[in-house]
Structure 1
Amino acid sequence: MLQFAPLFPLIYRVLQPSFPNCLWTGNTNCKKIALTFDDGPHRHHTPQLLEVLDYYKIPASFFWLGVCVQQAPQIAKMVHARNHWIGLHGYDHRNFPMLSPQELKDSLEKTQAAIESACNIPGQLIRDVRPPNGFFTPNTLKLLKKWDYRPVMWSVVPEDWVRPGVNTVTQRVLNQVQNGSIIVLHDGYFGGEDVAETTAALIPKLLEQRYEFVTIKDFRF
């Protein structure tokens, strides 16, 4: 499978200044970083990941698909009970630019409703949105702003979803991480098989470098 991992740092450097109304990174003057996980919750991969986060007492941010929340509501509840941050990834991973405005609105609201049902928290309080595959247009951002959502992107993308191996993913993160980094990994169907092992390899190495782990709620534009 063709891998684009070497391109993501270049893409980030082009897109970040072009779209300042997306959250791309935290404060680059502080050694705070955010571990984020897309495409869950997953019945098997997410509980294994939670064990690692519990062991190291690390907070994380999860961007969920509505359909996965509906399939694994008890897992969603487990994540919320540990006070991890929760955001939206759309209902079924369709690229936002391919949806009509009404379809996009429905996708986000259905995901909020699924989270509200599973976790017993008001769906309207969940305002952070990460577009699937990182695809958006200026019109996508305009709609999200109109509906009072905050677009959350990334600065470190090790392309774990193609499963290049735990060592490769770990090294890609370590090569790119810096103050304020938003690291994206996946605990869903693609890449989730390795996520617990990858996270267990990464966390101690990042702690050695004296990084502090925070959630997306601690980062601002």
Structure 2
Amino acid sequence: MIVIKWLLFVLLVVSCFWLLYAVLPTYLYRWFHPRVCTHLKQTQSFALTFDDGPHREYTAQILNLLKEHEMKATFFVVGTIANERPDLLKRMVAEGHEVGIHHHKHVSAWFLTPGQLKKEIQMCKNAIIEATGVEPIFYRPPWGHLNLFSVWCAKPYHTIIWSDIFGDWSLKKTKKALEAEMKSKLKRGAIYVLHDNGETKGADERAPEQTIGALREFIPYAKQRQMNSKTLSELKKEGTSTWN
């Protein structure tokens, strides 16, 4: 009986710590912190953003599609993968896109100490600079997870979450369903999060094929409605309100 009570006490302490360190900060920072952006105000365009890459095949296809339609995007890259494929980062910058920090490894901030989190951000930043010569100014944590110290660790970057996320890392989200949802959510100031790599934990390896297929239909649809995707830096200049 004493052992059970002790285990319940430990479980309660761990749960409270988890709530205060990880879960509550994630949502409170998203809603209230001025350096955490979930959407953009007073802009005429929207943002296509891609997480978890670059992928040799899928990222290249997305870049081809964006080039064909003269649209720009922001790619939040994983540092270890960026080190293996610097040519794709070079191409992103050369074609007018933006590269942002994801983490050096695809690991949640919920499981990182402040020191570990700063190291993940710094190492990813270094990989981007080494590949492109350009210092990133935007950061998106994997899964959108923040912890109590994330905003402090992410200085001086703007932390970008999203206004719309579509579950395109899973093959359960079909091309038609993804396309329909993206069209229904099209609005000025939106920040879409999509994925150009399906090799991360919890994702389906071939899921980006569905994403690319949906983009082939969605991008012309957006252009017909006088809506263009721009990089986050372009949208930051375009808008006149604070990022919140």
What is the TM-score when the length of structure 1 is the normalising length? 0.85
Map 1:99-138 → 2, pairs under 5 A: 99-119=112-132, 121-122=133-134, 125-138=135-148
The runs of 5 or more residues in structure 1 that have no matched partner are 1-12
Counterpart CA distance in 2 for 1:78 and 1:205 is 26
- 2:219 aligns with 203
Map 1:77-116 → 2, pairs under 5 A: 77-116=90-129
Counterpart CA distance in 1 for 2:170 and 2:131 is 29
Measured on the aligned residues, the alpha-carbon RMSD in Å equals 1.9
- 2:31 aligns with 17
- 2:170 aligns with 162
The yes-or-no answer on 1:47 pairing with 2:60 is: yes
Single out whichever of 170-179 and 188-197 deviates more from structure 2: 188-197
SS at match of 2:46: strand
**Following TM superposition, by how much is the alpha carbon of 1:14 offset from its aligned partner in structure 2, in angstroms?**
8.6
**Mapped contact 2:164–2:190 kept (Cα < 8 A):** yes
User: Kindly tell me: are residues 14 and 104 of structure 1, through their superposed partners in 2, closer, same or farther at Cα, counting changes over 3 Å?
Assistant: closer
**Mapped contact 1:156–1:177 kept (Cα < 8 A):** no
Q: Match of 1:216, as an amino acid?
A: L
- 1:62 aligns with 75
Counterpart CA distance in 2 for 1:180 and 1:72 is 31
Q: Match of 1:26, as an amino acid?
A: L
**Following TM superposition, by how much is the alpha carbon of 1:110 offset from its aligned partner in structure 2, in angstroms?**
1.2
User: Kindly tell me: are residues 70 and 173 of structure 1, through their superposed partners in 2, closer, same or farther at Cα, counting changes over 3 Å?
Assistant: same
**Mapped contact 2:100–2:139 kept (Cα < 8 A):** yes
SS at match of 1:112: helix
**Mapped contact 1:45–1:195 kept (Cα < 8 A):** no
What is the TM-score when the length of structure 2 is the normalising length? 0.77
Q: Match of 1:40, as an amino acid?
A: G
Q: Match of 2:156, as an amino acid?
A: D
Counterpart CA distance in 2 for 1:134 and 1:19 is 14
**Mapped contact 2:178–2:211 kept (Cα < 8 A):** no
The yes-or-no answer on 1:32 pairing with 2:20 is: no
**Mapped contact 1:26–1:32 kept (Cα < 8 A):** no
The runs of 5 or more residues in structure 2 that have no matched partner are 1-26, 237-241
**Mapped contact 1:53–1:59 kept (Cα < 8 A):** yes
Counterpart CA distance in 2 for 1:75 and 1:81 is 10
Greater gyration radius:
2
Q: Match of 1:62, as an amino acid?
A: F
